A and B are shown apart, each in its own frame.
Chain A
Amino acid sequence: MDTQQQILHYVLRLGDNALISGHRLGEWCSNAPILEEDLALTNFALDYIGRAENLYQYAAKLENKGHDEDFFAYRRSERDFQNHLLTELPNNNFADTMARLWFLSLYEFYLYNELCSSHDETIAAIAQKSIKEIKYHLRHTKEWVLRLGDGTSESHYKMQKAINDYWMYTGELFEMDTIDHEMLNLGIGINPQNIYSLWLKDVKETLNEAQLQVPEDSYMQTGGKNGIHTEYLGFILADMQYLQRAYPDAKW
């Protein structure tokens, strides 16, 4: 894989995470506990889809095969997607979604903060736009972790369970493979291990404030970066790609 290919993969990973996360949040439409929250969740979905669109547009340019951004979202298959497993897990209840989104937003906060000074100008520009949205996602989800953790006994139980259930999917966020190493060397990408300690410190502080326990270290799931996903991803793609696959000649 040459450098251009590696940059392409790096951008696609960022795009895939945004797309799949946005897809899951969009599923909350008309299902949230209050109307204000319905608007917030679909607004986050919109942020993510917009980010995916920008990243895939750049991917199309890097790939240079005449594809557009929709190709990457709609015409690739399960094994081609390189998003983290955490993004594709089902929404389940509101605490589950908030735990997942909080873990992700906190990770993205540190990731995109560093990407703002990437040597790749396009990645830096996308990061500068995204970081404003991410700060808001982080503030919103952290508030819910606090409210649910320190709300009623029922909400406390549900939030703790959500934190415990998703914990094993957080390790993958900080994995480093050859593409990450190469991007780091070129000053394009970041060292995910450097942001892990920052992430963990914030997680511990917030959980403590929310009267929640930090889960014990256990086995961390892995695979997303290599296209080895949960069974859920196939259904997301079947749903999302249906029209593009059923009518391959159509323009929408």
Chain B
Amino acid sequence: MNADLDKQLNVFETKINEDINIEPRDWMPDDYRKHLIRQISQHAHSEVIGMQPEGNWISRAPSLRSKKILLAKIQDEGGHGLYLYSAAETLGISRDEMLHQLHEGKAKYSSIFNYPTLTWADIGAIGWLVDGAAIVNQVSLQKTSYGPYARAMVRICKEESFHQRQGYEIMTKMMQGTKDQQAMAQDAMNRWWWPSLMMFGPHDSDSPNTGNAMKWKIKRQSNDILRQKFIDKTVQQAHLIGLSIPDNKLKWNEDKKSYDHGEINWDEFIRVINGDGPCNKQRMKHHIKAHQEGEWVRKAAIAYQLKRKELINQ
């Protein structure tokens, strides 16, 4: 028995070392499976919960064009949620179980969506900064070791880069607009910058899950490296349209050819993750309410399907 296990582990590790994807029917260590379920379901939940702060502005989008773009973007996010739930299902967990874990507070979603979208500029900031940060992470995940997750990422990255450009376009238009619009855009920048940096997670020295994830090539680059990539590309984009970064310690470092930045408020990060962000309760209440209110519809669909089957069998 042990010899079998060793052999399986050996095959698994050889594949990982040779950058061959692990597929659903392959043997994998329990902890690898658990880690992936946790990460992919969290990713799926983030896409779905993220529909709330953005959906908040569909009815008020200020032009027909911007309304169409926002509707399409939110659909993309919901679609990403679907692929990711499916990818997680290949690991032996159902969507119902994942939703149950979310509602019980056992599964998390990205903390960024616990911040409110207060003005139209926040829709620009989410597209540009939040999707921008997500892309940096997801581009790296295209090379993750689990096949279905890696393939989902390839498709998701294509759509996310549209979102980022669309978000930047909103900010650009506002910065070229009236004084009120410029103030709105800068205010959104001020509120979303630091939470966007927090999206990459704790510093490498404080990141408890990184060890195995890196060894198994689930995660390919560290939190700090990804965060730095995001900062370096975004600062220039901000300056180009006249937005300032709310960090007085931000400075170009010629030696390392990237920006130094101020200290992230990790107390806020932990507080929001643990449930005391501005919208944690609102987001969960909303999701649970929609799910509960839809129960009779789901039951009806199942009942109808059963009746059809019976008719066919008769």
Residue B240 CB within 8 A of the other chain: no
Known: A30-B52, A30-B286, A147-B301. A154 touches B296 (CB 8 A): yes
Question: Which of A30, A31, A236, A250 has the most CB atoms of chain B within a 10 A radius of its CB?
Answer: A30
B63 touching A70, Cβ below 8 Å: yes
B169 nearest CB across to chain A (Å): 10
B183 nearest CB across to chain A (Å): 11
Q: Which of B52, B71, B72, B120 contacts A243 (CB 8 A)?
A: B120
B59 touching A250, Cβ below 8 Å: no
Additional 14 contacts, C-beta under 8 A, given A32-B294, A39-B78, A158-B296: A33-B290, A34-B297, A35-B48, A37-B294, A38-B51, A39-B82, A94-B297, A147-B300, A148-B297, A155-B297, A155-B303, A243-B62, A250-B178, A252-B62
A214-252 Cβ-contact flags toward B at 8 Å (1 or 0)? 000000000000000000000010011011100101111
Please, which residue of chain B has its CB at the minimum distance from the CB of A159? B300
Residue A151 CB within 8 A of the other chain: yes
**A49 surroundings in chain B (CB, below 8 A):** 64, 67-68, 71
B73 nearest CB across to chain A (Å): 10
**A86 surroundings in chain B (CB, below 8 A):** none
Interface of chain B residues 281 through 295 with chain A (CB within 8 A) = 286-287, 290-291, 293-295
Known: A36-B82, A42-B74, A46-B72. A52 touches B58 (CB 8 A): no
B60 touching A250, Cβ below 8 Å: no
A155 touching B59, Cβ below 8 Å: no
Dominant secondary structure of chain B at its interface with chain A: helix
Residue A80 CB within 8 A of the other chain: no
Dominant secondary structure of chain A at its interface with chain B: helix
B64 touching A155, Cβ below 8 Å: no
B177 touching A151, Cβ below 8 Å: no
B68 touching A53, Cβ below 8 Å: yes
A199 nearest CB across to chain B (Å): 24
Known: A42-B75, A43-B75, A45-B71. A34 touches B62 (CB 8 A): no
Residue B307 CB within 8 A of the other chain: yes
**Contacting chain B: which of A21-29, A166-174, A182-190?**
A21-29
Interface residues of B, Cβ cutoff 8 Å to A: 48, 51-52, 55, 58-60, 62-68, 71-72, 74-75, 78-79, 81-82, 85, 120, 170, 173-174, 177-178, 180-181, 286-287, 290-291, 293-301, 303-304, 307
Q: Which of B60, B74, B294 contacts A240 (CB 8 A)?
A: B60
Q: Which of B52, B72, B300 contacts A155 (CB 8 A)?
A: B300
**A38 surroundings in chain B (CB, below 8 A):** 51, 78
Q: How distant is the Cα of A151 from the Cα of B60 in the complex, in angstroms?
A: 36
B182 nearest CB across to chain A (Å): 10
Residue A133 CB within 8 A of the other chain: no
**A73 surroundings in chain B (CB, below 8 A):** 64
**B68 surroundings in chain A (CB, below 8 A):** 46, 49-50, 53
A94 touching B178, Cβ below 8 Å: no
Interface of chain A residues 80 through 131 with chain B (CB within 8 A) = 93-95
Residue A56 CB within 8 A of the other chain: yes
Q: How distant is the Cα of A236 from the Cα of B60 in the complex, in angstroms?
A: 10
Q: Which of A155, A251, A252 contacts B296 (CB 8 A)?
A: A155
Q: How distant is the Cα of A39 from the Cα of B85 in the complex, in angstroms?
A: 15
